[in-house]
Amino acid sequence: MFGKDSMPEIVRIGLSDRCNLDCPQCRHNSTYHPDRGKNNVDMTEEQIFGIIDEIAPSKPSVTLNTANEPLIAKVFPQAVRRLKEKGIVGTFNTNGLMLTEKLAQLLVEIKFDSINFSVDATTPETLKKIRGVSCLDKLVRNIEMMVAVRGKNLLPRIGVTFVDQPDNHHEFAAFLDFWKTRVDVIRVSSFIKPGAPDISDTCTPMFDYKGVKRTCCIQPFRDIVIRPNGDVSPCVIPSEDPTIVAGNVFKDGGVKAVFHGAEMEKLRALHTAGRWDDVSFCRTCDYWLDSLPIKEERRDGFLIRYSSPYTVFYNVIERMNNWESRLFDRTGPSKNKP
Ligand SMILES: C[S@@+](CC[C@H](N)C(=O)[O-])C[C@H]1O[C@@H](n2cnc3c(N)ncnc32)[C@H](O)[C@@H]1O
Ligand code: SF4
Ligand code: SF4
């Protein structure tokens, strides 16, 4: 149960506000946020070490990206090393284009837990529509290079991501087929409408959610999202809106102080009371559907885990031996349940 000493179970950290792409699909892209990445804010080594050292005793799982490209960050190598030195499990999403062999070797050497490459397409034409670039060959080569550098080592667990939307929906079967023999897991996400997630706008909800009564959202009890300037977003959905801030970990006493600060406590109290409509960004959001129980089935050589109507993981059964439960069960039951 959530209490006064609870710490976030999932910590999402943006090491930099920059990205090397401007994907048309991205809910953080410059159409919605014209200043995105223009401020060139990068966390310093001292700042990221301060965060990691504070959260280490509670062993959360850490995602090293928010609305940015993590590999662009100056302190990325230092951050992944420090996480593993402190025994923290980590993952990140990347567009994969800045991955070098040296970085791949580092990730293998430190036994980093998990990497998700965002791919979304099986043809350069579709990649262009969704991610704004046509260099599918380079992306596939980089992912295969990561797999080759891992060799016979167990870690990192390597996945690819497909954000299902009208421009790529027809390629999904081919995507699954192509990647099933190359990586450990394929994540399929429904498109999140910028600012106002609405599952009825997506191509295919991952499972039937109709008739589910709205419930208290788990996000503010379980997660913290830290932007590169230290500002905390109250949850992952408004993370791209810099005007929505629930405190600053560098100025307001650290991660625990902000997680239990007035803004986060107020948000949790409103959700517990069923008053989510009193919160501007919750009123227009149905991402609380992510709080529903997980469903699973085994089919076609996959352990298919439906973690919410928004997300499904196709885990290749033959390659489950690098499954780290603190990362991959994190959409499941939470210690911090309200
Ligand atoms: C915002 S990106 C940041 C990390 C990295 N730059 C990348 O592209 O993987 C994190 C994930 O969010 C996904 N994403 C971006 N816009 C989205 C949207 N509108 N709906 C659903 N997922 C989205 C990306 O495809 C990626 O898998
Ligand atoms: S999806 Fe990732 S790579 Fe594309 S613009 Fe967004 S943050 Fe950058
Ligand atoms: S309802 Fe949406 S915006 Fe509100 S806390 Fe949950 S995920 Fe975040």
Rounded alpha-carbon distances, angstroms, from residue 48 to 14, 168, 242, 322? 10, 36, 20, 27
The whole model's pTM is what? 0.95
Quote the pLDDT of residue 182.
97
How big is the chain by its Cα radius of gyration, in Å? 19
CA nearest neighbour of 220 among 280, 288, 277: 288
12 Cα distance to chain centroid: 7
Q: How far apart are CA 217 and CA 7, in angstroms?
A: 17
Task: Tell me the pLDDT of the chain averaged across its residues.
Answer: 91
pLDDT over threshold 90, residue 210: no
* Cis preceding-peptide flag for 57 (omega within 30 of 0): no
Quote the pLDDT of residue 37.
61
Q: How far apart are CA 153 and CA 151, in angstroms?
A: 6
Quote the pLDDT of residue 29.
65
Q: How far apart are CA 84 and CA 157, in angstroms?
A: 15
- Strands 61-63 and 295-299: what pairing? unpaired
Q: Name the residue of 237, 240, 275, 280 to mutate for ligand 3: max ligand atoms within 8 A of Cβ.
A: 237
Q: What tens digit of pLDDT does each residue of 148-190 get?
A: 999 999 999 999 999 999 999 999 999 999 999 999 999 999 8
Q: How far apart are CA 183 and CA 243, in angstroms?
A: 38
Ligand nearest to the backbone CA of 270: 3
The residues facing 316 across adjacent strands are 302
Q: Name the residue of 18, 23, 97, 130 to mutate for ligand 2: max ligand atoms within 8 A of Cβ.
A: 23
- Strands 10-13 and 61-63: what pairing? parallel
pLDDT over threshold 60, residue 333: no
Question: Which residue has its alpha carbon closest to ligand 2 atom 7?
Answer: 68
Residue with tokens 């932007």, as numbered in its chain: 227
Number of the ligand 1 atom closest to the C-alpha atom of 19 = 6
How many angstroms separate the alpha carbon of residue 271 from the centre of ligand 1? Answer: 26
CA nearest neighbour of 256 among 43, 44, 88, 4: 4
